[in-house]
Structure formats: C-alpha cells, structure tokens
Amino acid sequence: MASERYGVRVPMKAWRPGRGDMRVHVQSIFSLAVAFVCLAASLLVVTNLSAVRDRWSRAGRATVYLRDGVADPEVNELVRALERTPGVKRVRHVTSVEARREIVVDESDAALASLPPAAFPASLELGFTDDIGETDLQSIALKLRALPAVETVETYQRWTERLSSLLGGGVSASAALAVVVMCAVFSVISSTMRLLLSRRRTEVEVLKLVGATNEFVRRPFVIEGAMQGAAGAAAAIALLGGLFFLVRGRFDHELANLLGLSPSFLPWTVSLGLVLLGGALGATTALVSLRRMAAI
C-alpha cells in the first residue's frame, strides 16, 4: 500500500528534472546525435547509390560510336536496321558537330572550346524497351561491334558493376558504423544513468523503504534512456536533413546532370526506424546498466 501511495508521486520527479539534470540530458542527447548523424549519413549515401545503380541498370540505353569517315548512306542504313530490331525503341544519330555542342556548353572553357568537331566521334544513341533482357542487350551490342562502321558500343554495364561494388562497400561501412553507434549509446547512456542515479539516491532509498520493487524504481530511468536515444536519433536526422537540403538547393542541377536523377533524402521509413532504434537502444542500455548497479 505504501509503495502504491508513494510510487506514483516520487518517480514522476524523473519527468521534472532540475537544471542539473536537464544539462545532463542535453549533453547526452548531443553526444548521441553526433554518433547517429554518422550512421544516418552513411545510410543516406547508400540510399542514393542504390537509386543511381537502379537508374542506370534500368536505363535501357546504349551508345554506338561510329568510325571516322563513315558515309551517310551507310549510317542511315544502320539506323533503319536498328529501328527494325526487336527491343529497340528509338535510335538517334548524333553527329560530331552535335556531340561537340552537347559537351562544350561553356565556350569560356578554352581547352574544350579549342577542340574541332572532328575530335568528337559521331554516335547512335539507342533506347530500348522496358522488357528487354540483359542477354538480349548484350547480344545486340555484340552484333553491332562486329560491323565495319562501328568503333565500339557502350552499354554502361561497367558503371553498374562499379556502382554495385560501391554500394556493397557502403553497406559494410554502415554496418560498421552501426556497431560504433551501439557502443556510443551504451557508453553515453550508462554514464548518464549512473550520474542520475547518484543525484536521485535519496528518492530511490525512500522508494525502497516503502516497499517499491527494483523494476518499479528502474522504470523512470528506462523511460529516460529511451527518450534520450530517440531524441538523439531525431536530432541527427534533423541536422543531416538541414545540411542535405542546403547542399541540394545549391547543386541540385549539377548533381542531376551528373547522376541522372536528383539526390533524395532518407525515406521516412528509414528515418522512423532510426528513431525507434535509438529509443530501443536507449531503453535497453539503461535497463542493463541499472541492473549492473547493486543499488537497484
């Protein structure tokens, strides 16, 4: 009966921390935010690398570079043959003059502007249907490479493979950072719980004297640990989001031209998952650290 009478009022003091406790909470959340922002940044890189890889793997296009001196009738015949090829959706002939115009956007660049049109090879830009398979695409490229008018064929498969390799490295880095974050959460929240427990020693002793169980005494501390972990993760996402949209606002056009799509922020499911992960790690760490203390 005594624990029921006092147990409601005394532990609720954990929800009304003093200035000293508030300073401890802020410092703890800041430390956790620094750790979580590293993990969130790595997940942001992995998310955009995955999007770029998928974009290029589904691009459904290839570039056929023509040899110098190929006559127009021969090029036109090749274009008509490709347009009749199953799986080919469009064929665009890019002359040397057009290729130079597309690449040399800024005439103030003396190095590029001084190059004559002959320095830019003519090509055929091929677009494929969505249902074309990788085997069919490689078969078409192999047949085109055998033609006398064709210098080489670029299917961008190497770029996809490189992006897949980078993506694998990004996933490994994210996993390593996740371990680092878990260690940081354990260290920060364990230290915070020890400090808070020492400041609230009198309250804990009173609760124990009136018959409160260890689980009942631990509950406010576990809730505080969960709130600190979730707040740290949320602060990291907010900070990273602000920096991301600031950078994207200035370089969105350049990045879109370079990557073929605009960079995107973390999906809301990933952001929510980070916050829930922070809360779960905070609660678990607080519970484990408190159980290791002989007092409760």
Per-residue model confidence (pLDDT) at position 4: 44
Per-residue model confidence (pLDDT) at position 25: 79
% of the chain residues with pLDDT over 70? 77
Per-residue model confidence (pLDDT) at position 238: 94
Per-residue model confidence (pLDDT) at position 256: 60
Q: Given a cut of 80, is residue 255 above it in pLDDT?
A: no
Per-residue model confidence (pLDDT) at position 186: 85
Mean pLDDT of the chain, nearest integer: 78
Q: In degrees, to the nearest 5, what angle opens at C-alpha 51 toward C-alphas 47 and 52?
A: 120
d(CA 267, CA 46): 12
pLDDT band at 3 (very low <50, low <70, confident <90, very high): very low
Q: Which pLDDT tens digit goes with each residue over 71-123?
A: 888 989 998 998 888 888 888 888 888 877 776 655 555 565 666 666 778 88
Q: Which pLDDT tens digit goes with each residue over 8-63?
A: 444 444 445 545 567 877 888 888 898 898 888 888 888 887 777 776 665 557 88
What are φ and ψ of residue 293, in 5° steps? Answer: -85, 130
Least confident piece of the model among 189-198, 238-247, 254-263, 268-277: 254-263
d(CA 192, CA 223): 13
Per-residue model confidence (pLDDT) at position 247: 81
Mean pLDDT of 178-202: 82
Q: Which helix (H) or strand (E) holds 127?
A: strand 123-128
List Cβ<8 Å contacts ≥24 apart for 272-277.
274/36, 274/39, 274/40, 274/43, 274/233, 274/236, 274/237, 275/230, 275/233, 275/234, 275/237, 276/230, 277/229, 277/233
pLDDT band at 273 (very low <50, low <70, confident <90, very high): very high
pLDDT band at 127 (very low <50, low <70, confident <90, very high): confident
Highest mean pLDDT: which of 102-106, 150-154, 219-223, 272-276?
A: 272-276
Mean pLDDT of 202-222: 79
